Amino acid sequence: MGQFNDRVTKARMRLEAEEWAKGIKSIHLHRISSMWYDNRPQDTEAGYVTDTQFNDGHIKRELQDGSVVILGKRLTGEELVWEYHRNT
Predicted confidence (pLDDT) per residue in 56-85, tens digit? 999 999 999 999 999 999 999 999 999 999
Partners of residue 66 on adjacent β-strands? none
> What pLDDT is recorded for position 1?
54
Tell me which of 21 and 2 has the higher pLDDT: 21
Q: Give the model's pLDDT for residue 2.
A: 67
Q: What are the domain boundaries of the chain?
A: 2-87
Alpha-carbon dihedral angle through residues 70, 73, 78, 80, given to the nearest 10 degrees: -50
Q: What is the pLDDT of residue 6?
A: 87
Rounded mean pLDDT, 27-43:
93
Instruction: Calculate the alpha carbon distances from 40 to 36, 58, 75 in Å.
Output: 11, 14, 21
